[in-house]
């Protein structure tokens, strides 16, 4: 039985990099779900310079709902998401990680907030979130420490900036025009920009399942992300952003 449509039209942006082993399963789940809950939708897949068969696998599944953006070289997850967000055509734009660590069905929790908020983000840290499979303890510890710094330096009150499941309305695309971070720190940059531009953000607890094949693995990734945090703070202090209130 089909569900009642929850979106008249939705753009889904998925960044991919060397995902040949799991992208087919994820896309099958996504297509089946969106066929039930959206009157119109598009799936924008941004390939971040993959050097495996990712694009071949996607092409085998592609329908007229698909839009594929191929980057010739690896630029980073943030850059890939930016290209997809700027290309989206519908009123609501959902960004999701390709591993579906946050199941696609969780977007139903966001719908009730779309009238009052411009950006709705998934959170693994709020009361009511459900972590089915946890990250290794050292990664959870580094994540908690990192979030404390993010709240202290940039985004007080937002408990989880890094969950790869965020819904934006079309008005917020201007945020991505100002985005400067190409890799892991882009999440907190676009949320900070959204606040500076006067957009309202709602954080919602979600169900989350750790994927042990994640590409955020080494300590160096956390160091690089911290440096990106400091770059954003410096850019804000030196007026490097062209921020206009909406």
In a domain, 136, yes or no: yes
With respect to residue 69, please indicate whether it lies within any of the assigned structural domains: yes
State how many domains the chain has.
Answer: 1
Quote the CA–CA distance of 231 and 131 in Å, as a whole number: 31
DSSP string covering 119-165: EEEEESSSTT-EEEEPPPHHHHHHHHHHHHHHHHHT-TT-S-S--SE
Count how many Cα atoms sit within 13 Å of the Cα of residue 30 in the half-sphere of its side chain. 31
The encoded tokens of residue 227 equal 């440096």
Structure tokens at 68: 């594929």
pLDDT tens digits, one per residue of 155-198: 999 999 999 999 999 999 999 999 999 998 999 999 999 999 99
**Structural domain contains residue 12:** yes
Tokens of 61: 């599944």
Structural element, H or E, at residue 235 = helix 219-237
pTM: 0.90
Task: Check which CATH number belongs to the domain holding 200 and give it.
Answer: 3.90.550.10
pLDDT tens for the chain, residues 1 to 246: 457 789 999 999 999 999 999 999 999 999 999 999 999 999 999 999 999 999 999 999 888 999 999 999 999 999 999 999 999 999 999 999 999 999 999 999 999 999 999 999 999 999 999 888 766 776 776 777 778 889 899 999 999 999 999 999 999 999 999 999 999 899 999 999 999 999 999 999 999 997 755 555 556 777 888 899 999 999 998 888 878 777
Dihedral over Cα of 129, 207, 173, 226: its sign = positive
- Domain that residue 141 falls in: 7-237
In DSSP terms, which residues pair with 123 in a beta bridge?
205
Please count the other Cβ atoms lying within 10 Å of the Cβ belonging to residue 71.
Answer: 17
Residue 243 forms part of a structural domain: no
Domain contains 2: no
Domain-located, residue 242: no
Helix axes 186-196, 77-87, angle to 10 degrees: 50
214, 129 in Cβ contact below 8 A?
A: no
CA pair distance 206, 192, nearest whole angstrom: 21
Contact in structure between 62 and 31 (CB atoms under 8 Å): no
Angle (CA) 190 142 230, round 5°: 40
- Is residue 207 domain-resident? yes
Q: Can you say whether residue 76 is alpha, beta or left, with left for phi > 0 and alpha for psi between -120 and 50 degrees? A: left
């Amino acid at each position: 039985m089909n569900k009642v449509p929850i979106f008249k039209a939705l753009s889904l942006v998925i960044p991919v990099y060397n995902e040949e082993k799991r992208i087919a399963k994820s896309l099958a789940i996504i297509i089946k779900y969106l066929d039930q809950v959206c009157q119109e939708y598009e799936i924008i897949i941004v390939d971040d310079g993959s050097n495996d068969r990712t694009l071949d696998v996607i092409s085998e599944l592609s329908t007229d709902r698909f839009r594929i953006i191929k980057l010739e070289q690896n630029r980073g997850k943030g850059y890939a998401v930016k290209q997809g967000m700027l290309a989206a055509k519908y009123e609501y734009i959902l960004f999701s990680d390709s591993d579906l660590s946050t199941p696609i069905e969780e977007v139903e929790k966001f719908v009730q907030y779309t009238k009052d908020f411009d950006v709705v983000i998934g959170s693994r840290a709020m009361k009511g979130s459900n972590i089915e499979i946890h990250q290794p303890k050292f990664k959870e510890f580094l994540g908690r420490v990192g979030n404390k710094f993010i709240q202290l330096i940039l985004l007080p009150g937002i408990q989880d900036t890094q969950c790869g499941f965020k819904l934006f309305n079309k008005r917020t695309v201007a945020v991505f025009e100002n985005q400067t971070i190409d890799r892991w720190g882009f999440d907190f940059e676009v949320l900070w920009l959204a606040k500076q531009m006067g957009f309202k953000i709602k954080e919602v607890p979600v169900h989350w399942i750790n994927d042990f094949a994640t590409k955020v693995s080494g300590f160096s990734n956390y160091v690089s992300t911290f440096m990106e945090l400091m770059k954003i703070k410096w850019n804000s202090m030196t007026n490097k952003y062209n921020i206009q209130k909406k």
